[in-house]
Structure 1
Amino acid sequence: MPLIKPLAVFFLAGLCEIGGGYLMWQWLKSGRPAWTGLIGALLLVLYGWVATWQPTSFGKTYAVYGAVFIVMSIAWAAYFDGFRPDRFDMFGGAIILLGIAVVLFWPRP
């Protein structure tokens, strides 16, 4: 259970930030209605609140979240935007996930 909560919070924060940014992008760059941008802005505000649910310090939370953001952005772009990650995208994502595990979960003395 100690692993599930921080990962779930990072995932929820990622959905809020990437989803919010994507909706803002759709509104401003693709001519979607203004309510699309409003929902995007609300999701971005929600992201800022969700990130505070992490038990770690601000610096560690945002360092690890940055890596989560990268991996989730690749997945989001593949699912919603037609981006097809190549083997280097996948390999880089795997390296980033390993880095998250070290920073967040490696036992400390």
Structure 2
Amino acid sequence: MLLIKTAGLFVFTAIAEIVGCFLPYLWLRKGGSTWLLLPAALCLGLFVWLLTLHPAASGRVYAAYGGVYVATALVWLRVVDGVRLSPMDWLGACIALIGMGIIVIGWNVPNSY
């Protein structure tokens, strides 16, 4: 259950980060309004806050989050940018998610060193 709850929270976190970075991209590269910077800042603030909701040490949270971020970014690439994903994209996302799962499961394993 911890793995599913953590992965879900990471997906929301990744979406907040991606939107927070995508909006300034629209402003800088696509001629969007400077008003895009306000929701971008709010999204990045939400991103930071969401990362604090995890019970593990920050380094472990960041490491595990990376796996979900990779998969979420590829879904964004497909849905928002309209780019078809390659089999290697899917394989990389699966490997990243397996790594995230291993790290999250290890949050409750006592350190034997």
Asked whether the two chains share a fold, i.e. TM above 0.5, the reply is yes
Does the aligned pair in 2 maintain the 1:64–1:104 contact within 8 Å?
yes
Q: C-alpha deviations, 1:42-101, integer Å up to 9, x for none? A: 101110111100111100000011111111101011100112110101111111111111
Give the alignment's Cα RMSD to 1 decimal: 1.4
1:44 aligned partner: 44
| DSSP 3-state at the match of 2:32 | coil
Q: Distance in 2 between matches of 1:90 and 1:28?
A: 30
Deviation at 1:4, TM superposition (A): 3.3
Does the aligned pair in 1 maintain the 2:20–2:40 contact within 8 Å?
yes
With 88-97 and 3-12 compared, the bigger mean Cα shift is at 3-12
Map 1:1-109 to 2 at 5 A.
Answer: 1-106=1-106, 108-109=109-110
TM-score by length of 2: 0.88
Deviation at 1:5, TM superposition (A): 2.5
Q: Gapped runs of 5+ residues in structure 2?
A: none
Does the aligned pair in 2 maintain the 1:26–1:32 contact within 8 Å?
yes
Q: Distance in 1 between matches of 2:37 and 2:76?
A: 18
With 21-30 and 4-13 compared, the bigger mean Cα shift is at 4-13
Q: Gapped runs of 5+ residues in structure 1?
A: none
Higher relative contact order (CA 8 A, sep 6+): 2
Does the aligned pair in 2 maintain the 1:28–1:37 contact within 8 Å?
no
TM-score by length of 1: 0.91
Percent identical among aligned pairs is 34
Does the aligned pair in 2 maintain the 1:26–1:37 contact within 8 Å?
no
| DSSP 3-state at the match of 2:2 | coil
